[in-house]
Amino acid sequence: MAPRSSRNAGAPGAAVRAAAAGVVARVLRERVEADDALAAAEHGVAQRDRALLGALVYGTLRWHQRLEWQTARLLSKPLKPSQLELGALLEKARTMRIFGTKMRSVVNQADAAGIREIVAQQFEIARRIIAAGLVPIIEPEVDIHCPEKAQAEGLLKAALLDALERLPAQDLVMLKVTLPERDDLYAELVRHPKVVRVLALSGGYTQEEGNARLRRNHGVVASFSRALVEGLSARQSDTEYDTVLGASIQRIFEASIT
């Protein structure tokens, strides 16, 4: 469930971002000079936030024309049959200064050959993402209901280390994995020089169980989805929603810093 747009109203910096968006909208739609629009908006922003406001406004305007041109070029140029959709998406992401993107596979059994194939496929796509100037997030998820989960995770770790060994020294990836049965199983990956971060997906674990496992896996940080939205409901007021979400974020953050 996607949160309503008003949910971010109380977030730190939200007022500055909203003011910056208003200034940019005036410049683009009303053809107002940026300096004039910014000066008018500064009256409603705290003194300490005015530098940030200016940086947001001018940074956005600086890139606006280039992004508009790149987007128009991508949309007007039909893809050749040999071109996969991924190539156009990566090009668009690069022009928009996106950091990285992920691809997800699911491991249901402790099958060595199947796991090696999944990892090989992930790294094949990862190389294309790296070539486009982005950082790939490799996500071979071991299903939490896998009957031989610990064995599957051991096979996965071996396959990942082997694939990393063959990756050029300058190439970097992120790894997103299921919280393992054996604590600190992925410690070698956390320390690996070609790995930016090892992320943990919640994978269907409750937030309590996910946090408990996360604390026991040092250096691994949370990338929770289902566990993050646990307890949220469209029937909640904005205050109730923000309170529940804020408490979840804090608990997950604390579990991530072990």
Helix or strand or coil: residue 138?
A: strand
Q: How open is the CA angle 229-233-237, to the nearest 5 degrees? A: 120
Q: Which residues contact 71 (CB under 8 A, 6 or more apart)?
A: 92, 95
Q: Quick check: 194 and 169 in contact, CB under 8 A?
A: yes
State pTM to two decimals: 0.66
Find the catalytic residue in 102, 149, 157, 176.
176
Q: What is the pLDDT of residues 71-107, one digit of tens each?
A: 666 556 554 544 446 777 787 788 788 898 888 899 9
Cα 155–chain centre separation: 26
CA distance 27 to 171: 40
Sequential DSSP letters for 144-190: TT-TTHHHHHHHHHHHHHHHHHHS-TT--EEEEEEPPSSTTTTHHHH
Query: What does the domain layout of the chain look like in residue ranges?
Result: 1-77, 84-256
Q: Does residue 102 carry a catalytic annotation?
A: no
Find the catalytic residue in 139, 141, 149, 157.
139
Q: What is the pLDDT of residues 133-190, one digit of tens each?
A: 899 999 999 999 999 999 999 999 999 999 999 999 999 999 999 999 999 999 999 9
Q: How confident is the model at residue 1 (pLDDT cuts 50, 70, 90)?
A: very low
DSSP letter (8 states) at residue 2 = P
Q: Does residue 139 carry a catalytic annotation?
A: yes
Instruction: Residues 84-256: name the CATH superfamily.
Output: Aldolase class I (3.20.20.70)
